[in-house]
Amino acid sequence: MGTRERRERSDQIDGELSTLFHDALSRLDITENNIALTAVGGYGRGELSPGSDLDILLLHAGLSPEKLKEFVNAFLYPLWSTNRKVDYSLRTKSETLTAAQDDIKVTLGLLDIRHICGNANLTDDVASSALEQWQKEYKKNLPKLRASLDERHERAGELAYLLEPDLKEARGGLRDINSLRALARLDVIEVALDRVAAAESILMNVRDALHETSQRERDQLLFTEQDKVAALLNYADADVLMLEVAKSARAVDYTASRTWDRIDRLERRSIFKRSRPVGVAKGLVAFDGELAIDEAYEIESDPALGLRAAAIAAQRGLHLTVDACVDMASQLRDLPTPWPRQSREDLVTLIGAGEHMIETFEALDQEGLIARWIPEWSHVRFLPQRNVLHRHTVDRHMLETAFRAVALTRKVHRPDLLLIAALFHDIGKGFPNKDHSDYGEELIQPLARRMGFDEEDVETLALMVKHHLLLSAVATRRDLDDPQTIAFVLAFIKDAQTLELLHALSIADGEATGTTAWSKWKAGLVQDLVNRCLAAMSGIAPAPQLELTPEQVEMAESGELRVLLTKRDENFVIEIISPDRTGLLSMVAAVLSISRLDVRSARTRTIGSSAVMTWLVALDAYAPEPTQEGLHSLLAKAFDREIDINKRIEERINNYRKYPGIPTAPPVVIATNDLATNATVVEVRTHDKPGVLFNVSRTISKFGVDIRAAIVATLGAEAFDTLYVTDLQGNALSEEKAKILANQVENYLLTL
Amino acid sequence: MKLITAIIKPFKLDDVKTALNAAGITGMTVSEASGFGRQRGHTEVYRGAEYTVDLVPKVRLEVLVDSADVDSVIETIVKAASTGSIGDGKVWATTVDHIVRVRTGERGVDAI
C-alpha cells in the first residue's frame, strides 16, 4: 500500500492500454498521427488505487464519426470484458476546451492530463491550452470551483468529524487536495502543498486499503471496514486509524481554508479598495466581514482578548482572520485562575452564537488556543466513538449539542449553564474503565471552578454532566405510572430549575446524536416523565429580590438622589438611591446605556417612596470611564427632562443596528402571579442588545403599572430579566391583564 | 409458522427480551409505536394547563415461531409484560405462509 504500488499499477495499465490501442489502430488502418490516448485525473497523475476507474481521454484530429465508433469498439471492447471500469471521452481539442469551460470537473481533470500513446503533439497541445485557459479565466472559474466544493461539503460532511466518512468527497478529503493542486497551478497565490503531502499519502493509502478489503471502488469508510483497513495498514486498531484520518483531514481543510482566505483577499484588493477597519471592541477591528486584531494592540497585555475576539466574531457572524488566530497563539498569555467574569461570559456568548460558533471554535482549536484555555478538550479532540447511534467524533458531537442547545435557551432560567453543560457533557469520554458520565462529573467541577462559576453553579453543572442520560434512560426503561419512578428521579434532581436544564440538555444531546437516538417517540416519553416530575415538585420560585442593608434603608428615607460608583475588576458597581417615580427604571437604564455602560446584572427594589438599585456594568470599548459626579448630574438632568433620553437612546440602538448580526431565538415573555409577594412576576428572556432593559421597562411603565423590583441578568449574549409589577394600588395584575402585558412586551422586543 | 406481535409498555421491553431469551428465542424485531386501546389517551394537568395525550408511546415486538411454540411464547410475553394496570398492551398471532432467510436462502421452519 503506497505511492510505489499506485505508480506500478498505473504503469502496468499504461502498457496494457498501449497494446490494445496499437492493435486497434493497425486493424482499422488508422495512422497514429490522428489520435492520442491520454490519462486524466488521478490516473493522469500516475496514481491508481486498486478499484479506481480508468479516466481516459482519446484526443483525435477530426476523424469521421463512423471511423471513431469502429475504433472505440475495437479498442475498448477487450477492456469491457475485464472488471476494470473505464470512464472515457472522445474529443477533438476544441471540443475538449469547450467541455472544460462548461464543467469545472473536466477542467480539473485536464490539469493532470498525461500522454500514454499515439500522437504526443495532440496531448501537449491540449495540456498547454487547458492550463492556459484555466489561468486566463480563473476569475470566472474560481466561483464555480467554490460552488462545487461547497455543494460537495454540504452533501458529504466533514471528514475529520464523521464516524463513517467519505475519504474522497468529504471536506478535508482527497478532492480538496486536488482542488489545492489546481489552485497552485494558477500561479497567482502561494499554496502550501507541502503541508498536505503527508496527509495525502495517508488518505490515499487508507483508500487503497479500503478498495482492497471491500473489493470495490468505495470511498466511504464504513464501520464494518475500519478494522480490516486498520489491520491491513498495520495500525494498532481502528481508533488509531480514524485518528490519523481525522488529523490528515484537518491539515487539508486548514490549508484549504487559508488558501481560499488568500484568494478572497486578493480578489477584494483587485476589485475595490478594502473597507476601512472599524473598532468593535477593545483591541478588535472589523472589516470586509472579518474580525482582526488592531495592529497597534498589545496582545501580550490582555489575556482576555482571545475569548472576547471569539465571542464578537461568532455573535456578529464575522470570520476570525487566520492572522489573528496565529498571532494570539504565539503571543496571548494564559488566563488567570479563576477566569475574569467577562471571559466566562465571552465563552457563553461564543457558544450561544449557534452556527457561527462552530467555525470560530474550529479556528481557535486549530491554533491550539482551545486546548490552552480548556486542557480537558485535548483528550476528546477527534476522538472516535464506535457506536451505531453516533455520527460524529466526541468533540464535534459536543459542539453539535451546544448548537442545538441554543434553540432551547428560552426554555430555561439559566441559559449559560445549559450552554456550558451542552459543550462539555461528554468530556469524560475516551477513558477506558471509566463511566463517561461519572468521570465527566469529576472533570467538569475543577473546570467550572476555573471558569469562575460559583459553587452552586459548579454543582448544577456537575449534576447535569453526571446525569445527562438519566431522563432518557428512566423514560424508556421505567414505569412512569409508578410513583417510585418519579421518586427515583427526584432523588437526584431536587428542583424544577435543574430539571428544566437537564430536560433541555437531553433534547439537545439527542437531536445532535441523530434521529435513531432521538425520535419523536422518545422525546414524548421524556416529556411525559418531566411533566410528572414537575407536578411532584413545588414549581420554580422567581429570582429573589434585593436584600437591603440598614444603610440603604436609612439613605432611602432621606429622599435624595445618591449615586455611588466603585470599580470591581474590569467592571463598575453603581449604587443608586432615588426618590421613586414612574418610569424610573427605564430612565436609569437609558442613562447607563447612553453613558455606554453595558448592564451585566442589576437588582432594584422600591422601599417606601424611594428606590434602591445596585448595578453591575461593563464599560463599552473606547468609551470614557464614568465618574460618580457625571452619572449623578446626567441622572438629575434626565429626571428634570433637560435631556431627551428617548432620542439619545434611539441613536444608540440605530448605531448598533448597523453591525451585522446573526439569527437568534425570538424573545419569550412570561407573566405569572406570585402569591408570596402579591405581585405579578414578568420574566423576559431575550437576546441581549443595547436598550433592551430601557425598552422593556418603558413598555411596562406605559402600561400603567408599577415596577416594584427588578432582577436583571446578562448571561453571555442572553438577557434574563425578572420584574415584579403591581397595579397602582399595589396589587398583582389580573390574569388577563398580565397576559396582555406579557404580549405587549414580547411584541415590542420583536421589533427591536 | 406464526408471527407473534406484541404491543407492550416501553419499560417492559427489557423484561420481555430477557424472558424470551430464556425461552430460547433469540431473534426479534422491535420498533417504536404509539396508539391507544381501551386505555384511550389520558389527560395531564401541567402547570394549570390541561392537555390531552392522544397517543400513548408503546413498543411493538415481533417474533416468528413454529406453530407448536405459539402458546408458550405468547404466555412468556404476557407474563413478562404484565403490570396489572391499564395499558399493558396486547399480544396476537397470525399465520405466516412463507419465510426465507436472506443470507442462506433457507425456507420455512429452518429460516426461523
Q: How far is A336 from A589, CA to CA, in rounded Å?
A: 32
Q: Which domain holds residue B75?
A: 2-111
Task: Write down the pLDDT at residue A596.
Answer: 87
Task: Write down the pLDDT at residue B38.
Answer: 67
Location of C-alpha cell 458597581:
A573
Give the CB-side neighbour count of residue B30, counting CA atoms within 13 A: 13
Q: How far is A635 from B2, CA to CA, in rounded Å?
A: 84
Give the CB-side neighbour count of residue A551, counting CA atoms within 13 A: 4
Q: How much is the ipTM here?
A: 0.76
CATH for B13: 3.30.70.120
The torsion defined by the Cα of A64, A68, A71 and A72, in degrees rounded to 10, comes to 180
Chain B residues within 8 A of A539 when measuring between CB atoms: 47
pLDDT at residue B39 tops 70 = no
Task: Check if A516 contacts B (Cβ < 8 Å).
Answer: no
Domains located in chain A, CATH noted = 3-136 (3.30.460.10), 139-271 (1.20.120.330), 384-538 (1.10.3210), 550-751 (no CATH)
Q: What angle do CA A252, A257, A261 make, to 5 degrees?
A: 150
Number of A/B CB contacts below 8 angstroms equals 34
Q: Do A574 and A618 form a contact (C-beta atoms < 8 A)?
A: no
Backbone angles phi, psi at A170, to 5 degrees: -65, 160
Q: How far is A136 from B11, CA to CA, in rounded Å?
A: 67
Give the residue from A471, A481, A489 with the most B CB atoms within 10 Å of its CB, the best one to mutate. Answer: A481
Beta strands in A584-649 (DSSP E): 597-607, 610-619
Task: Write down the pLDDT at residue A588.
Answer: 92
Backbone angles phi, psi at A413, to 5 degrees: -85, -20
pLDDT band at B57 (very low <50, low <70, confident <90, very high): confident
Location of C-alpha cell 407474563:
B79
pLDDT average per 10 residues of sequence, chain A (752 residues): 88 92 86 90 89 89 84 83 81 92 90 94 94 90 90 90 91 94 89 89 94 86 92 91 90 86 74 71 87 92 95 90 90 94 94 88 89 93 80 90 94 95 96 92 97 96 97 91 91 93 96 86 91 84 77 82 88 91 90 89 88 90 87 91 84 74 85 82 90 90 90 90 90 91 91 78
Chain B residues within 8 A of A478 when measuring between CB atoms: 11
Q: What angle do CA A362, A367, A371 make, to 5 degrees?
A: 80
Task: Check if A524 contacts B (Cβ < 8 Å).
Answer: yes
Q: Do A348 and A314 form a contact (C-beta atoms < 8 A)?
A: no
CA distance B54 to chain A (A): 11
Q: How far is CA A485 from the centre of its chain?
A: 37
Chain A residues within 8 A of B57 when measuring between CB atoms: 521, 524-525, 528
DSSP letters spanning A441-462: HHHHHHHHHHTT--HHHHHHHH
Cβ–Cβ below 8 Å for B10 and A476:
yes
pLDDT band at B41 (very low <50, low <70, confident <90, very high): low
Q: Which residue of B has its CA nearest to A524?
A: B57
Q: How many domains are contained in chain B?
A: 1
Chain A residues within 8 A of B9 when measuring between CB atoms: 479
CA distance A473 to chain B (A): 10
Cβ–Cβ below 8 Å for A531 and B57:
no
Q: How far is A715 from A328, CA to CA, in rounded Å?
A: 25
Q: How far is A30 from A647, CA to CA, in rounded Å?
A: 87
Cβ–Cβ below 8 Å for B47 and A539:
yes
